[in-house]
Amino acid sequence: MTMSKPYAITLDPGSSLANKTGTWRNERPVYVDRLPPCNATCPAGEDIQGWLFHAEGGHYEAAWRHLVRDNPFPAVMGRVCYHSCEGACNRAQLDEAVGINSVERFLGDEALKRGWRFDAPPVESEKHVLVVGAGPSGMSAAYHLRRRGHRVTVMEAGPMAGGMMRFGIPKYRLPREVLEAEVQRIVDLGVTLQLNTKVADLAQTMADGGFDAAFLAVGAHIAKRAYIPAKDSSRILDAVAVLRSMDGEDKPLLGRRVVVYGGGNTAIDVARTARRLGATEAIIVYRRTRERMPAHDFEVEEALQEGVMVKWLSTIKQAGNEANPGALTIEKMVLDDKGNPQPTGEFETLEADSLVLALGQDVDLSLLDQVSGLERRDGVVQVDPATMMTGHPGIFAGGDMVPAERNVTVAVGHGKKAARHIDAWLRGVQSAPAPKHAPASFDRLNPWYYSDAPKTLRPLLNLARRTSSFDEVQGGLTEDNALFEARRCLSCGNCFECDNCYGVCPDNAVIKLGPGKRFEFNLDYCKGCGLCAAECPCGAIEMVPEAV
């Protein structure tokens, strides 16, 4: 062999692969998954970034199936959820938050249009669970329990399912056919729904039906009252009753001048409903200022656009006087140092055909009178926040009847969490939540790689129709702009296979494993320069020191 080599050449040519430059390294890159802020804040525990990943590719059914692992009501959510996810979205620091809620609605509507169904449970269990109340929390729990193979019977006192989604949220925000279709899809999964069935004595009902566990979600339907001296002839209604009667045969008679007392979302809903019923004046009387109003600002804004008026810093002292049963006595208020309203002694009179009180709701807990071990405080049932179980083993509760923020998404989240722990309790095990990833904060991103793209806004119904009909106010996105919106997701903290690490490594020390399989580091050659971590757009690579 040596004879065949040219002059002065003594070695065979070799590849530099023999030189394992990985020995130079004092830091190594590691792929990590971090918790995106949208997921971290979602009360229903959705993997938002996970379903957006599918939606970005136009794989809407895969996206929807990923979404409904956590929440069976995407079309409802896409209309009524207050989307705290968008408030937390890192993209807001670049241009505007991703329109998560509008993409969710698109997926929900697409599922209804295409008739996508839930998969049947893989195995059937022998256990039977009672759910009391067919609102968002009860139906969510029923869905999650059924998917785990349990028999589920939902008992609902009212004539229709949906709870506050039907009796508390007006049609112009949530068309009833959308609600009914999403409830029906849960029933079709094999959930038994018994309407007009009020559970008066829980212990008795459970014993009679042979139930192994129960989830209570009866909601909060009893209107709170404020003491207002009134004449007999004054027309005073409560907000819950007004909204509930909108779903019945007889629409409430409110008159042409309607005054609503309160500052929450329900007050806004009633005032907007009154406008649609023909009221020329719908006036909200609220004792604090707009900044302190508990109602969501976009709803206040939409109400003002529709001609709803608000008297800020005002309380109602009396309804009706000798001369005029429709005259309301209003007292002006001022805010003290602590932001609490204080009376001023200044009064004025407001004419009203009816006064609607929207001062919050209480829970009817009478069904629990015979159940031992429960703790009630502040008018609600106390539960272990980790499991949603009450003081009575096997009885769980959620939604508006437990201490929490009262909205549909929180209720759905309660149902999901309770179902997981009911399932564990039925099997006699503990369900430990999976450890949470560290947060994917904005400072970990390399935003250079995201091109500028402003948010796509949903169309709003024109004002004339908004004040004359109960047509849905907010429209949906088309497929094109839903896709565009989904693609605005930054995929914070989770690899989306952009190939940056694979491309920017000067040592070819990143191995691309193919679609869906992500990447691996070839530590034989990785010198630990950190370029992959620095240039990862979504912060899914971390440099960790090598052990010396």
Partner 1 sequence: MTQPVKFYQTGTFTVGNRLLAPDQRSVQASIARNNSLNSGHRACQGCGEALGARYAVDAAMRATANQLVAANATGCLEVFSTPYPETSWQLPWIHSLFGNAAAVGTGIAAALKVKARKAGQAQSPVRVIAQGGDGGTTDIGFGCLSGMFERNDDVLYICYDNEAYMNTGVQRSSATPGGARTATTMAVGGEPGAEFGQGKNVPRIAMAHEIPYVATATVADLRDLEAKVETAMGLRGARYLHILVPCPLGWGSASHDTIKLARLARETGLFPVFEAVRGEVTQVTKIRHRVPVEEYLRPQKRFAHLFGSPGQPAMLARIQAEADRNIQRYGLLAEESVA
Exposure of 198 by Cβ count < 10 A (0-12 exposed, 13-18 middle, 19+ buried)?
middle
518 is a contact residue toward partner 1 (CB under 8 A): no
What would the two tokens of residue 533 be? 């971590």
Residue nearer to partner 1 on the CB measure, 318 or 481: 481
Q: Which one among 301, 384, 524, 546 touches partner 1, defined by CB under 8 A?
A: 524
Q: What's the rounded Cα separation, in Å, for the pair 191 and 537?
A: 44
Stretch in the footprint of partner 1 (CB under 8 A) among 14-22, 306-314, 320-328, 345-353:
14-22
Report the site for partner 1 in 263-292 (rule: CB under 8 A): none
CB 76 within 8 A of CB 177: no
Q: Which one among 21, 41, 318, 329 touches partner 1, defined by CB under 8 A?
A: 21
Q: What's the rounded Cα separation, in Å, for the pair 397 and 505?
A: 53
Tell me how many degrees the CA angle 232-237-243 measures, rounded to the nearest 5. 165
70 is a contact residue toward partner 1 (CB under 8 A): no
**Polymer length of the chain:** 548
Exposure of 1 by Cβ count < 10 A (0-12 exposed, 13-18 middle, 19+ buried)?
exposed
197 is a contact residue toward partner 1 (CB under 8 A): no
Residue nearer to partner 1 on the CB measure, 115 or 515: 515
Binding pattern for the stretch 478-517 against partner 1, x by CB under 8 A and - elsewhere: x-xx-xx--xxx-x----xxxxx-xxxxxxxx--x-xx--
User: How many CB atoms are located within 10 Å of the residue 160 CB?
Assistant: 17
β-pairing, 213-216 vs 128-132, is: parallel
Shortest Cβ 252–partner 1 spacing (Å): 40
Q: Which one among 436, 449, 471, 546 touches partner 1, defined by CB under 8 A?
A: 449
Q: For partner 1, how many residues bind (rule: CB under 8 A)?
A: 58
What would the two tokens of residue 20 be? 């394992």
Which residue is associated with the tokens 């309301």?
A: 328
Q: Which one among 432, 434, 448, 547 touches partner 1, defined by CB under 8 A?
A: 448
Shortest Cβ 449–partner 1 spacing (Å): 5
Shortest Cβ 264–partner 1 spacing (Å): 35
Stretch in the footprint of partner 1 (CB under 8 A) among 109-117, 140-148, 206-214, 445-453:
445-453
Stretch in the footprint of partner 1 (CB under 8 A) among 6-14, 137-145, 152-160, 386-394:
6-14
Report the site for partner 1 in 114-133 (rule: CB under 8 A): none
527 is a contact residue toward partner 1 (CB under 8 A): yes
Q: Which one among 2, 6, 7, 14 touches partner 1, defined by CB under 8 A?
A: 14
Q: Which one among 2, 16, 372, 430 touches partner 1, defined by CB under 8 A?
A: 16
**Non-local CB neighbours of 522 within 8 Å, separated by 6+ positions:** 22, 508, 509, 510, 511
Stretch in the footprint of partner 1 (CB under 8 A) among 163-171, 208-216, 345-353, 524-532:
524-532
Report the site for partner 1 in 26-65 (rule: CB under 8 A): 56-57
Stretch in the footprint of partner 1 (CB under 8 A) among 64-72, 117-125, 273-281, 446-454:
446-454
For 214, the 3-state DSSP assignment is strand
What would the two tokens of residue 129 be? 């669970």
For 259, the 3-state DSSP assignment is strand
Q: Which one among 32, 141, 270, 533 touches partner 1, defined by CB under 8 A?
A: 533
What would the two tokens of residue 138 be? 């009860």
Q: How far is CA 403 from the centre of its chain?
A: 17
How would you write 55-103 as a 3-class SS string? HHCCCHHHHHHHHCCCCCCHHHHHHHCCCHHHHHCHHHHCCCCCCHHHH
User: How many CB atoms are located within 10 Å of the residue 476 CB?
Assistant: 20
Q: By the criterion CB under 8 A, which residues form the site for partner 1?
A: 11-21, 24, 56-57, 448-451, 453, 456, 478, 480-481, 483-484, 487-489, 491, 496-500, 502-509, 512, 514-515, 522, 524-525, 527-531, 533-535, 537, 543
